[in-house]
Structure 1
Amino acid sequence: MLALRAFFAMVPLALTLAACSIPGPEQAPDGIWDPNEPANRRVHAFNTRVDDKVLRGAGTGVMEALPAGGRQAVSQFADTVGTPQTVVNQLLQLRLWRATQNTLRFALNATVGLGVLDPASELGLTPDKSDFGETLAVWGVPEGAYMVVPFVGPSTERGATGMVVDLFTDPLAYVLHSPERYLPPLAKAADRVIARGEFSQTVDSVLYDSSDAYAQTRLMHLQHRRYTLGAEDPASADIDPMALDTTGF
């Protein structure tokens, strides 16, 4: 019920935000609508400094300190505790079969897999993530302008609105008690650090070796997000949209 209330409360806000920023064909012929680029570049520079001072070193440290099995266990636990929120969003999207599969996936991995193993994938129930930004897209909310969120990274007006709603639609947050309720966000944060370490060379090449890291990150994020949502991306570049998920960088 809470998820439904959040959905119906936030859709009008998301429509208003995105509708105010929908570009005309002559304004964004390359498929990139970034009317707040100067402010976005400042936030991007701030996030890059945070990455350099915190995530970059932490990711390398975790890679050196934890064996591969330990890193996999943390990442799998983050996936397991994140699955119920995916189910909520897929129910809101009326994707009932996918929601059912993810419910079974969570049940198997949380019990047989003890939260840190993935027996569900061996049975064909592979990871299938979703968020409220995708829910808004399914219901026709426009993408809106590109934006960079402090400490989070590249997004859009629709995506940022979805992030806010996702703060309140995690079922585990209302089921678990302290201190267990803090385990899911801590696991997700740890998984982010691990991912930063695993893809350090690729991320460093984009953030620190590119002639225009902001423009490249923007293009890669929009291509990747539109690709995962099944939307046609009019932007063109010789970049594999699945090569790197720049979320959080």
Structure 2
Amino acid sequence: MLNENEVNPSVQYDEIYDPIEPINRAILGFNFFIDDVAIRPVIKTYKFIAPEPVEKGVSNFFGNLREPIRAIAFVFQGEFLKSLNSAGRFTVNTLTSLGTFDLASRVGMTKNETDIGLTLAKSGVSSGPYLVLPIIGPSNLRDFSGDVVEFFIDPVSNNLPNREYVSIGDGLNARAEVDEEIDLIRESSSDRYEMLKSIYYQNRNSQIEEDFVQNLPTPKIYIE
């Protein structure tokens, strides 16, 4: 759970390369407008009528669809055991429940998060300029490039009928998962734009650093 006090002030806004801030701010305003009039009412209704197990099942379903991308990303990172684990998780969860129940975790196949954007980061590609994408939200050039690559190489979504509806459902599910955090940002007295930018970079940097610590050759010292 996020609250305003958890945003680390040590992440200085001026350290983030943001050359098109006026455009980004305009897009963020557009995004909040669309969210207010169209997306947020749908999410609030869904969370009100859907029992928690249903929400969890939907979240698991869309998370499972990303396992093949994780498997591919881990191959690019040279993490072949993690790649096999992701492929195995997809197979087990799809065959047993179409991905709505995470049986794989119950049998010891732990979920490992990654994506092509993180793969690029670990390969030394710089983040590039900060971007606010219409509807999608915060990103940067590196992560956006990773998303584009994923769109073309995703072996599951590329073979699904009506892929656009699956993408919309995935987006709405992602929005529902951060609904409380978005509400806190709306209620904050801080600059929404700067707050979202800081949160985005803190989250992405923590994902990169966490994976780095986990993969140290001799992990005797852990830096929190």
Q: Smaller-chain TM-score range?
A: 0.7 to 0.9
SS of equivalent residue, structure 1 residue 222: helix
SS of equivalent residue, structure 1 residue 128: coil
Mapped pair 1:212 → 2:218: no
Once residues 165 and 89 of structure 2 are traced to their aligned partners in structure 1, the CA distance between those partners, rounded to angstroms, is 19
Once residues 121 and 190 of structure 1 are traced to their aligned partners in structure 2, the CA distance between those partners, rounded to angstroms, is 25
Following superposition, the deviation at residue 69 of structure 1 comes to 1.5
SS of equivalent residue, structure 1 residue 155: strand
Structure 1 counterpart of 2:25, one-letter code: R
Which TM-score applies when normalising by structure 2?
Answer: 0.80
Larger % of helix: which? Answer: 2
Structure 1 counterpart of 2:170, one-letter code: K
Structure 1 counterpart of 2:193, one-letter code: Y
What percentage of aligned pairs have identical amino acids?
Answer: 30
- CA deviations 1:121-147 (Å, max 9, x no partner) are 112323223222112112211111111
Instruction: State which of 197, 217, 221 in structure 1 corresponds to 2:200.
Output: 221
More off after superposition, 92-101 vs 217-226? 92-101
Following superposition, the deviation at residue 73 of structure 1 comes to 1.2
Aligned to 1:35: 19
Which TM-score applies when normalising by structure 1?
Answer: 0.73
Aligned to 1:241: none
- Contact 2:43-2:172 at 8 Å conserved across structures: no
Once residues 98 and 140 of structure 2 are traced to their aligned partners in structure 1, the CA distance between those partners, rounded to angstroms, is 36
Instruction: State which of 129, 134, 149 in structure 2 corresponds to 1:150.
Output: 134
Instruction: State which of 117, 127, 133 in structure 2 corresponds to 1:133.
Output: 117
Once residues 139 and 100 of structure 2 are traced to their aligned partners in structure 1, the CA distance between those partners, rounded to angstroms, is 29
Following superposition, the deviation at residue 211 of structure 1 comes to 2.8
Aligned to 2:173: 191
Following superposition, the deviation at residue 173 of structure 1 comes to 3.2
- Contact 2:13-2:198 at 8 Å conserved across structures: no
Following superposition, the deviation at residue 194 of structure 1 comes to 2.8
- Contact 1:82-1:184 at 8 Å conserved across structures: no
Structure 2 counterpart of 1:122, one-letter code: R
Structure 2 counterpart of 1:114, one-letter code: L
SS of equivalent residue, structure 2 residue 108: coil
SS of equivalent residue, structure 2 residue 153: coil
CA RMSD of aligned residues (A): 2.1
Following superposition, the deviation at residue 29 of structure 1 comes to 8.7
Aligned to 1:16: none
Following superposition, the deviation at residue 55 of structure 1 comes to 2.3
Following superposition, the deviation at residue 106 of structure 1 comes to 0.9
| CA shift in 2, pair 1:67/1:29, >3 Å | closer
- CA deviations 1:75-118 (Å, max 9, x no partner) are 11101111111111111222111111111111111112332111
Tell me the matched-pair count.
199
Question: Which consecutive unaligned segments of at least 5 residues does structure 2 have?
Answer: 1-11, 211-224
Question: Which consecutive unaligned segments of at least 5 residues does structure 1 have?
Answer: 1-27, 232-249
Once residues 58 and 139 of structure 1 are traced to their aligned partners in structure 2, the CA distance between those partners, rounded to angstroms, is 39
